[in-house]
Amino acid sequence: MNRVAVVTGASRGIGRATAELLAQEGWHVAVSDLSADTLGAVLDTIGTKGGAATALAADLTDAAQVTALAEQAWALRPDHLALVNNAAFLPPEAIAGDTDLLSTEDWIWDGAWRVNVRGTMSLCRALLPGMLDRGAGAIVNIVSMLGLQPLPGQQIAYTTSKAAVTMLTRHLAVTYGARGIRCNAVAPGSILTENQRATYDDDALAKKLERYPATRLGTPEDIAAAVAFLLAPAAGFVNGQVLTVDGGVTTQLAL
């Protein structure tokens, strides 16, 4: 069976780790990001390890590019197609400025909703008809623990956009589950990506860890493993769920 997984935001961090793991598990991975120039490293790593990958660059805020990405994905002739919506608007300057309703500027709101919500929705809408024609497909959306359990002064635009994607996930699951489409989400906690390291110094990261009932912060590989599970046959009866991978911090916050 030719299994193809489209992974957005795949040039680094969670997207790259997910693409590499899925390739190891036998998926042909269609890696996507804004520019094909940023995808060389992940393509090389997958190829070196004997995996199959194709670069499909696209700006998810551009309708024509989303349509082209979907057409290129189906041109790989998959028997089964999966979509991992990982691309997000999260530049370090937006993280620093995304605090509360009175302080967060419009450009941060606009970027978060344009990429995180509309971009995710647009790619789902572009790929879903082909999945329905085949009676099978799986979607995993990367959301956020802060979209489930907010913290004061932390990323109001980003987290509300991710809360919207959580509801999109559930809506797709209940609407299309009976036609063979599964849609789930993974909600990461603090993950040590390049963005996190660029935004927070060691002291700030140590303070983050103090809130966690865990011995470490998360890694991109932790999230990749959760995504791979949700796309696997073992998760065939899992639909409309949000798998929180956060070291237990949201459980602790809810107490």
> Looking at the annotation, which residues are catalytic?
158
φ/ψ of 88, rounded to 5, equals -150, 155
CB contact burial 217-246 (16+ within 10 A = b; e otherwise): bbbbebbbbbbbebbeeebeeebbbbbbbb
CB contact burial 166-184 (16+ within 10 A = b; e otherwise): bebbbebbeebeeeebbbb
- Identify the CA nearest to 164 among candidates 182, 184, 143: 143
Classified as helix, coil or strand, 228 is helix
C-beta separation of 128 from 146 below 8 A: no
Classified as helix, coil or strand, 3 is strand
Query: Distance (Å, rounded) from C-alpha 165 to C-alpha 169?
Result: 6
Cα Rg, the chain, nearest whole Å: 17
CB contact burial 196-207 (16+ within 10 A = b; e otherwise): beebbeeeeeee
Side-by-side strand order, sheet with 181-188: 52-55, 28-32, 3-8, 80-85, 137-142, 181-188, 242-245
Structure token digits, residue 93 = 């300057």
